[in-house]
Structure 1
Amino acid sequence: MKILCWSTDQAVWKHWSQVISADISLVRVEALGDVYETLQTTSSEFKYCFIFLEDKSFSKKVEDVVALRSVFPHQKIIVFPNQTSQAAALRLFSVGVSGQCAPYIGKDQLDLVLSVVDSGEIWGGKIFIQQLIQQSATTAQVNESELEDLSERELSVAQYIAKGWSNKKIALEMDITERTVKAHLTSIFKKTNTKDRLALALLAQSYYSVL
C-alpha cells in the first residue's frame, strides 16, 4: 500500500516514516501543486493522503484540503493539524475528510486509525470528540426556536455554516462581502446564544433536520 504525504516539516515526515508499518510505502511531496499532479496521474496508487497542517498559514492549508477534496472526492485524506481547532475540524469533516490525528501519533495508534478509516468510519481524535460531545450537550440546551428569530439572510448564513462553508464561500454564494457575512454571524451568535461556528453549525443542523 502507498500513502501520499504532503508535509513541509522534516521532523514530521521523519516521524511518519518511523511509525508507519513496514508493508506501507510513503511518498512525500512538499507543495500543493505536486499533490494535484501526483493524484491526477497516479491517484489509484495511493490509498491515503496524509496532510500536515502547520501553524503557519493554518487556515489557508485547511481551505487547500477542502479544495483538494472537491477535485478528488474519492481520495481518503487524513489530516494532522498542529493546533486544536473545532471550526477547522468541523469544516474538514463536513467535506469528507476521513480523519484527523496528532502529527506525532504513535505507531499503534496510527495502525488503529488506518484500520478504522479503512472500515469506512472516520477518526476524529480524542480531544475533538470530547469537545464535540461537550459542545453538543450545550447546544442541546439551546431552544431551536431561537433560529426562527433570525432574518431570512441570517438563516441562509446559518444554513451554510451548518454545511461547513467558509465566510468567503458564503459571501460568493450570497453575493455579499465577507464583512457582511461576519456582521450576520455576530448577530446570529447573539440571537442564538451560540459562541462559535461549531455551536452554530450543530444547532443549525439540528434545526434543518426537523424542518
Structure 2
Amino acid sequence: MIRILIAEDQELIRQSLEIILGNKPDMKIVGVAKDGKIAVGLAEKLIPDIILMDIRMPEIDGVKCIKIIKEILPQIKIIVLTTFDDNEYVFNALKNGASGYLLKGLSSTELVSAIRTVFNGGALINPNIAVKVVEFFHESSNIEYKINVDELELNNLSKNELKIMKLISRGMSNKEIALEANFSEGTVRNYISNILSKLNLRDRTQIAIFAIQSRLEMKKIDN
C-alpha cells in the first residue's frame, strides 16, 4: 500500500486528488495539508511514503518544505505537483530532494503512474523538465547552483556506474535499469550505493540532476 500525503492550498484540487487516488487499491490518502507548515507537521507525524507537494503555499512554500522534510525524513519521496514550471522552481525543488516535478493538468492515469514509478525507486526527470534543468545549469548566472563532485572520483567511476547514472537520468526505476543493462536489481542497487558514496551525493535524484548537468546522456559509454 502506498501511503500518500497531499499538500495543496486549493481545496478543490485537494478534494479531486483524494477522490482520484483514494479509489486506487494500492494507494491510501493518510493526510491532507492546506499549507506548508501543516505539511511539515503531518509528514513528521504520519511518515507517508509519498508527498504530493504544491510549490506556492501559505506559511512555508513547497521548495522550503521539501528541504525541511528531506533533512528530517530522507526516506519520504516527494513529487511536486504545480502549475509553475519556472526553471528555478524546477531546479531548487529537485536539488532539495524532490523525486519528480509534474505540472497540473496531467491526466489521472499519468499521475497514478508517476506515483507508482517514484514509489518503486524511479525519479521523474522527464524530457521537458530535463531541458529546463540543463537550461538552468548552463546559464552563467546560475553557476553557484551546480552540483559539484570530486573530479578524481568522477573519473574513477566504472563504465557500468556511468551507464547506471545515464539510465537514472532518464527516470528509470531499478527494475527498468536491471532489464536495460542486463543486471539483477541487487546489482543495480549496489552500483547506485557506490555512485552515491564516491560522488558524495544524497540520493538518486541528485544523480539524475548531475547526469543531466554534465550532459552524460549525450556521451557515448563504451561497453
Kept in 2, the 8 Å contact 1:55–1:83? The answer is no
| Match in the other structure for 1:115 | 116
Cα distance change, pair 135–88 in 1 and its aligned pair in 2 (3 A): closer
Distance, in Å, in 2 between the alignment partners of 1:55 and 1:85 is 16
- TM-aligned CA deviation for residue 29 of structure 1: 1.7
Structure 2: unaligned runs, 5 residues or longer = 154-223
- TM-aligned CA deviation for residue 76 of structure 1: 0.9
Would you identify which runs of 4 or more consecutive aligned residues in structure 1 move more than 4 Å? Answer: 55-58, 133-138
TM-score by length of 1: 0.57
Distance, in Å, in 2 between the alignment partners of 1:82 and 1:29 is 18
Cα distance change, pair 91–135 in 1 and its aligned pair in 2 (3 A): closer
Matches within 5 A, 1:1-211: 1=1, 2-20=3-21, 21-23=23-25, 24-26=27-29, 27-43=31-47, 46-54=48-56, 60-133=61-134, 194-196=140-142, 201-202=145-146, 205=148, 209=151
Deviations 1:51-104 (A, max 9, x none): 11238789x431232122212211111111321122222222223211111123
Cα distance change, pair 137–62 in 1 and its aligned pair in 2 (3 A): closer
Deviations 1:108-143 (A, max 9, x none): 2112212321231211344211333556788xxxxx
TM-score by length of 2: 0.55
Cα distance change, pair 135–50 in 1 and its aligned pair in 2 (3 A): closer
Deviations 1:148-173 (A, max 9, x none): xxxxxxxxxxxxxxxxxxxxxxxxxx
Q: Which amino acid aligns with 1:85?
A: D
Deviations 1:26-45 (A, max 9, x none): 231213333233233331xx
How many residues are paired up? 149
RMSD (Å) for aligned C-alpha atoms: 3.0
Q: Quick one: percent identity of the two aligned structures?
A: 10
| Structure with more helix by fraction | 1
Structure label with greater radius of gyration: 1
